Amino acid sequence: MKKLINFTWRQLSKYVFPFIYKLNGNRVRLGKNVILFGFPIIKAETDSNIIIGNNVVLCSKSENTALGVSKPVILRAMKPEAVISIDERSGISGATICAMEHISIGKECLLGSDVMIFDNDFHSLNPAGRRFSQKDINVKPVVIENNVFIGARAIVMKGVKIGENSVIGAGSVVVSNIPSNVIAAGNPCKIIKSLGHYIEK
Ligand X SMILES: CC(C)(COP(=O)(O)OP(=O)(O)OC[C@H]1O[C@@H](n2cnc3c(N)ncnc32)[C@H](O)[C@@H]1OP(=O)(O)O)[C@@H](O)C(=O)NCCC(=O)NCCS
Question: Which residues carry out catalysis?
Answer: 123
Q: Does 113 bind ligand X (CB under 6 A)?
A: yes
Q: Please name the residues in contact with 118: beta carbons below 8 A apart, sequence gap of 6 or more.
A: 96, 97, 98, 99, 103, 142, 156, 157, 158
Q: Check residue 98 for interaction with ligand X (CB under 6 A).
A: no
Give min distance, CB of 65 to ligand X, in A.
6
Cβ proximity to ligand X, 177 vs 194, nearer residue: 194
> Does 185 engage in binding with ligand X (CB under 6 A)?
yes
In angstroms, give the least distance from the CB of 57 to ligand X.
Answer: 12
Distance CA 95, CA 102 (A): 16
Number of residues engaging ligand X in binding (CB under 6 A)? 16
Beta carbons of 150 and 144 less than 8 angstroms apart: yes
CB of 153 to ligand X, least distance (A): 7
Judged by CB under 6 A, the residue of 170, 179, 180, 181 near ligand X is 170
Name which of 30 and 167 has its Cβ closer to ligand X.
167
Distance, in Å, from the CA atom of 121 to the CA atom of 159, rounded to the nearest integer, reads 11
Least gap, CB of 55 to ligand X (angstroms): 19
Interface residue with ligand X, options 151, 157, 178, 182 (CB under 6 A): 151
**Residue 94, helix vs strand vs coil:** coil
- Binding of ligand X at residue 173 (CB under 6 A)? no
Burial 100-112, CB ≥16 within 10 A → b, else e: bbbbbbbbbbbbb
Rule CB under 6 A: is residue 144 a binding residue for ligand X? no
Q: How far apart are CA 36 and CA 182, in angstroms?
A: 30
Q: What number of helices (H) and strands (E) belong to the chain? A: 2, 20
Q: Which residues bind ligand X (CB under 6 A)?
A: 67, 93, 112-113, 151-152, 167, 169-172, 183, 185-186, 192-193
